[in-house]
Amino acid sequence: MADTTLERLQTHLADRYAFERELGRGGMATVFLARDIKHDRKVAVKVLHPDLSASIGGERFEREIRVAGRLQHPHILGMYDSGVSDGLLYYVMPFVEGESLRDRLDREGQLSVEDALQITLEVADALEYAHKQQVIHRDIKPENVLLSGGHALVADFGIARAVEDGAQQLTQTGMALGTPTYMAPEQGMGEKVGVTADIYSLGCMLFEMLAGEPPFSGKNASAILAKHVMEQVPSLRIIRQSVPEEVEYAIFCSLGKSPADRPQSAAAFAALLVAAPMPAGATSTRMMTMRHTTARRTNSGMTSAFGVAAPMPVPLWKRPMVLAIALLVLAGGGFGAYKLTAGGKPVPLADSGGLSKKRIAVLYFQTGDSLATLADGLTEALIENLNTIPSLAVISAGGVGQYRGNDSIPPEDIGKALNAGTLVKGTLDQQGDKIRVSIRLLDGNSGVDFGDPKSFTVDGRNFAAVRDSTVTEVATLIRERIGGEVLLKEQRRATSNNDAWLLVQRAERLRKQAAATKGDSALLIRAQADTLLAQAETLDPKWPDPIIGRARLAYETSRRNADPLEAKAPIDAGLAHINRALALQPQDPNALELRGNLQYWRYLVKVDAEKEKQSALLTAARADLEKATELNPNQAGAWASLSHLYYAIPEVSPRDIYRAAEKAWEADAFLSNAQVVLNRLILASYDTEEWTTATRWCDEMQRRYPASSQAPRCKLYLETSKKKEWDVPLAWKLADSITAMAPKPQQRFERFKSDLLVAAVLARAGLGDSAKRVVDRSRGNPDIDPNLELPQFAAFVGALRGDTTTALADLKTYLSKSDDRRKALAAYPGWWYRPIAETPGFKKLLAN
């Protein structure tokens, strides 16, 4: 046939192309090498087989090929010409010196991780561009990816739909459609095809580049298609352990059976791959190439959808003194005890002669890449289990996480930094189908080993056995060291299903990745984590951890901003998940804490406008959070949330707020929102005139978070307190620091607010006229202060100066913004306005 086709082309196109030889042949077309006579250049002429040409027809072919001809991209093989000659459909492309990806795979089998990622990212770049032009390839496979000059070029854009339509008419006559090795399930079943079909095919191709074989194979097309539809994707890392876990997971996502379960764009798929660690040994040239590919993708708008920053939370002023500088939404990670922040108990700071040996830090276990997920999950399970021992104080995962993967810091330095007298270090080593676990206990004071290391071997196919054996052995070692009873409490139901446990660990790693990712890409990563957790729940429906994990992902998604319309759906989803978890274990403090946070966040963003529903939400959230602390007095996250929620309840005193924040800090000083908790401790003690205590917490803020504006701010607030001497120069210096550290859009507001606090110091120091001049120039305007927050500070200065009329006028302006402010001030007037509290004007303001 090829000779006949070539002769027909030579006869009818002789004035335009000088045909030399056949380059290759497939099920749909034959490619010939030719010379473009007019332009004197080599070209590749692809000619559809005669039966297919007849079925498609020239008009349909020209329509589709015209679309492809408009595509101009560095990784898309362009098109010079097309047409119909003697009934044959053809199109002309540049002749590329190099080889196809199929040629290279046939020669090498597996590609390096570095090369496979580069090729995939370049193909994804091309697909994203084409998809934005409303062009779907429909036939991504190694044969259609050409390699030249170290880069990938995608061929055959734009004709697949015409070929597909024509071929469907020929299947009944016996013409083969070709292997569906890379075909998405919906495409193989003749359903509507979207951009995710190309992503599925690209995922299959990446799998083959790394594994040396495609994910599904079979004796015939029907058998392969059935596997695409029915079978799970095989584990790539079992075949090749050097493949990064993030890459394997990206492939799993791309090969979702339903289009809705895959990344919804080539950009989203590429984002997952870019997030993977750079392969060890990658050459500087290759790394630069991958970076340039990513940069081009960003500049062309490929990742622009991921760059939407969440707006600053809108303050919800409640208490005039405390909340004036509080963060008035729950800080990220407010759900604090589950996984990341299972904290310890308050213990004496040190035994005689050093750090307390009962304060324990379990450092992240070290291992190779193949066991990294197991090592992380084992470390966090060990922390969670040891935390149930009443006599111990265990540093949370949030505290030890900063030392993960860093073996260069001396143990004694870690001990001092974490205030931990006992360190637990461990390693995991793969030995065939066994895992060897080695454990060491070190003295946090000196860094030396306490006794001999402990090693044991367990079945590497049974993760539950690895977990339980490690927990038992560490508990035994600790008991031998510190004496007394070290008894593990009965834990909530765990799972014995290896696959379910591993899925949860992988999902947790993705959740952490999402927490460190900005914009819409975090949503995608959370969606992928949710898919893993859903699979884990299916494998073990009675294990609550996957369900709690899904609820937490929904909660974190809802926290993107304070828009009630956007928050409603993820909040509802989270509540549905957490209620299922509580149906399994009604007394689970982690689940109760999360449900409380979901309800409280729904209250804060006012998803429900009706006051009755708002009141019910606040009551329910408080009940869940308090119940969580009753079940586990060291439920740090629940205490942290309560220390904020109590602001919304007028009858709760600042001392109760302080107690809740103190409990959170004692349970876990490394809570993910520890800085916010520390700030509440400062504010609550300031509000109750506990100056010594407030100073102590302010010093701790300076020590722990010296780069935060909260450090100079708390010092400035303390300068406004009752003391014998006031340092005006220091107050101005602190105000300058606060302003300089503020984000640029907020600097003018922070300048005015800080200057008003300096005015309070001036008034305290007897410089009333100077204080008035500062107030007069610091009142701001609606653009700077749309929430009317500055007048409350001005009223404070007026009260200190004895200018009752001005103070009441400023206070009236502040209260005019919201009746909630009046109610809060009436419930707890505080000490700022004590000089005017007994005046008729003040009482009238609070009464109205």
Residue type, 450: F
Number of domains comprising the chain: 4
The CB density around residue 587, as the number of other CB atoms within 10 Å, is: 13
Q: Quick one: which of 19, 740, 668 has its CA closest to 384?
A: 668
Q: Please work out, in degrees rounded to the nearest 5, the angle formed at the alpha carbon of residue 811 by the alpha carbons of 809 and 815.
A: 120
378 and 473 both lie in a single domain = yes
Residues near 703 by Cβ (< 8 Å), separated by ≥ 6?
none
Last residue within a domain, chosen from 45, 70, 94: 94
Residues near 304 by Cβ (< 8 Å), separated by ≥ 6?
298
290 and 402 both lie in a single domain = no
Long-range pairs for 772-775 at CB < 8 Å and ≥24 separation? 772/797, 772/801, 772/803
Give the dihedral sign, CA 760/764/767/769: positive
Residue 25 bridge partners (DSSP): 30
* Sequence-ordered alpha helix ranges (H) in 145-211: 160-170, 185-188, 195-211
- The whole-angstrom separation of Cα 421 and Cα 425 is 13
In a domain, 798, yes or no: yes
Predicted local distance difference test score (pLDDT) of residue 285: 38
- The whole-angstrom separation of Cα 250 and Cα 276 is 9
* Sequence-ordered alpha helix ranges (H) in 34-153: 50-56, 58-69, 101-108, 113-132
Q: Using an 8 Å Cβ cutoff, are 346 and 529 in contact? A: no
Predicted local distance difference test score (pLDDT) of residue 549: 95
Cα→Cα distances 546→340, 364, 374, 589, Å: 15, 22, 16, 15
For the record, the structure tokens of 224 come out as 């392969």
State the catalytic residues: 139
Q: Using an 8 Å Cβ cutoff, are 544 and 492 in contact? A: yes
For the record, the structure tokens of 584 come out as 């399994």
Residue 288 burial by Cβ neighbours in a 10 Å radius (0-12, 13-18, 19+): exposed
Query: E strands within 706-774?
Result: none
DSSP, collapsed to helix, strand or coil, labels residue 102 as helix
- The whole-angstrom separation of Cα 615 and Cα 603 is 8
DSSP, collapsed to helix, strand or coil, labels residue 659 as helix
In a domain, 509, yes or no: no
For the record, the structure tokens of 419 come out as 């205030």
In a domain, 511, yes or no: no
176 and 275 both lie in a single domain = yes
Residue 85 bridge partners (DSSP): 88
The CB density around residue 704, as the number of other CB atoms within 10 Å, is: 15
CATH of the domain at 249: 1.10.510.10
Residues near 117 by Cβ (< 8 Å), separated by ≥ 6?
247, 273, 276, 279, 290
For the record, the structure tokens of 222 come out as 């029907």
Residues near 773 by Cβ (< 8 Å), separated by ≥ 6?
none
Q: Element (H or E) spanning 844, and its range?
A: helix 840-847
Predicted local distance difference test score (pLDDT) of residue 480: 64
256 and 197 both lie in a single domain = yes
61 and 109 both lie in a single domain = no
Cα→Cα distances 762→689, 732, 774, 808, 811, Å: 19, 10, 9, 20, 20
Last residue within a domain, chosen from 94, 110, 125: 94
Last residue within a domain, chosen from 482, 515, 544: 482
837 and 722 both lie in a single domain = yes
Residue 326 gets which letter from DSSP? Answer: S
pTM: 0.52
239 and 354 both lie in a single domain = no
Q: Please work out, in degrees rounded to the nearest 5, the angle formed at the alpha carbon of residue 698 by the alpha carbons of 696 and 703.
A: 95
79 and 118 both lie in a single domain = no
Residue type, 392: L
CA atoms within 13 A on the CB side of 469: 18
In a domain, 327, yes or no: no
Q: Please work out, in degrees rounded to the nearest 5, the angle formed at the alpha carbon of residue 130 by the alpha carbons of 285 and 226.
A: 95
The CB density around residue 189, as the number of other CB atoms within 10 Å, is: 11
- Provide DSSP, 501-540: HHHHHHHHHHHHHHHT--THHHHHHHHHHHHHHHHHHHH-
Rounded to 5 degrees, φ, ψ at 590 are -65, -45
Q: Quick one: which of 554, 132, 527 has its CA closest to 303?
A: 132
108 and 242 both lie in a single domain = yes
Residue 125 burial by Cβ neighbours in a 10 Å radius (0-12, 13-18, 19+): buried
User: Can you give the length of the chain in residues?
Assistant: 848
- The whole-angstrom separation of Cα 259 and Cα 632 is 43
DSSP, collapsed to helix, strand or coil, labels residue 68 as helix
Residue 782 burial by Cβ neighbours in a 10 Å radius (0-12, 13-18, 19+): exposed
Q: Quick one: which of 834, 787, 827 has its CA closest to 807?
A: 834
CATH of the domain at 32: 3.30.200.20
- The whole-angstrom separation of Cα 181 and Cα 254 is 15
Q: Quick one: which of 245, 217, 211 has its CA closest to 231?
A: 217
Q: Using an 8 Å Cβ cutoff, are 519 and 306 in contact? A: yes
227 and 118 both lie in a single domain = yes
- The whole-angstrom separation of Cα 22 and Cα 211 is 31
- The whole-angstrom separation of Cα 41 and Cα 34 is 9
Q: Quick one: which of 341, 273, 367 has its CA closest to 512?
A: 341
CATH of the domain at 410: 3.40.50.10610
DSSP, collapsed to helix, strand or coil, labels residue 593 as helix
Q: Quick one: which of 262, 127, 122 has its CA closest to 184?
A: 262
Residue 419 gets which letter from DSSP? Answer: T
In a domain, 430, yes or no: yes
- The whole-angstrom separation of Cα 496 and Cα 834 is 62
- The whole-angstrom separation of Cα 56 and Cα 54 is 6
Q: Using an 8 Å Cβ cutoff, are 337 and 589 in contact? A: yes
- The whole-angstrom separation of Cα 209 and Cα 204 is 9
Q: Using an 8 Å Cβ cutoff, are 356 and 405 in contact? A: no
Q: Quick one: which of 660, 670, 611 has its CA closest to 640?
A: 660
CA atoms within 13 A on the CB side of 503: 27
- The whole-angstrom separation of Cα 432 and Cα 614 is 58
- The whole-angstrom separation of Cα 750 and Cα 818 is 22
Q: Which domain holds residue 209?
A: 99-305
Residue 351 bridge partners (DSSP): 354
- The whole-angstrom separation of Cα 622 and Cα 647 is 12
- The whole-angstrom separation of Cα 264 and Cα 268 is 7
In a domain, 522, yes or no: no
In a domain, 659, yes or no: no
Query: E strands within 299-431?
Result: 350-351, 354-355, 359-362, 393-394, 422-431
146 and 217 both lie in a single domain = yes
Tell me the mean pLDDT per 10 residues along the chain, length 848.
Answer: 71 86 79 88 85 68 71 84 82 85 92 92 92 88 89 78 46 44 86 90 96 88 82 80 83 88 88 62 42 37 26 28 31 34 35 68 86 83 75 80 82 86 89 86 82 80 75 71 49 70 84 80 86 91 94 92 86 95 94 96 90 93 96 88 88 86 78 80 89 91 85 94 85 94 90 96 93 94 92 96 96 90 85 94 89
In a domain, 627, yes or no: no
169 and 263 both lie in a single domain = yes
